[in-house]
Amino acid sequence: MGTRQEFEMDPQLLSTIEELVSKIVAQYVQENELKMKEISLVERLIRVEEELKALREIQMAQFEAMEKRFEALQKEIATIEKANQQRFEAMEKRFEAIEKRFEAMEKRLNFMQWFMGLGFTFLTFLITLFYFLKG
């Protein structure tokens, strides 16, 4: 068995060992810090990608909602156009009916004008005839 003297080391050797150990520990810590930074960056990249994916999904949902709303608006516009077309056709029929009434009234007035003209002509002829027969 050895004595305590056997385990004592040279101070220069001890300082060299301490220096080497501290360098190795410093290098280990530095490498692990880089690995931790890399891991942290990878985690951040993963979170950013997940958020981008979530944003894309939200945008797609919004786009689909807008598309559905646009389709609903198109259907509503088509319904309104159809109703306006029906109103226009009804108004057109009313105007045609009014036009027929005016044509009928024009025929009656034309008939009355001719009747009155012939009546005045006949009366004028009779008055002239009586005037010459009396005279």
- pLDDT, one tens digit per residue, over 7-44 is 577 788 888 888 888 888 888 887 777 778 778 888 88
Q: What integer pLDDT is reported at residue 34 of this predicted model?
A: 73
Per-domain residue ranges for the chain? Answer: 10-134
- pLDDT, one tens digit per residue, over 73-105 is 999 999 999 999 999 999 999 999 999 999 999
Q: What is the pTM of this model?
A: 0.45
Q: How far apart are CA 125 and CA 135, in angstroms?
A: 15
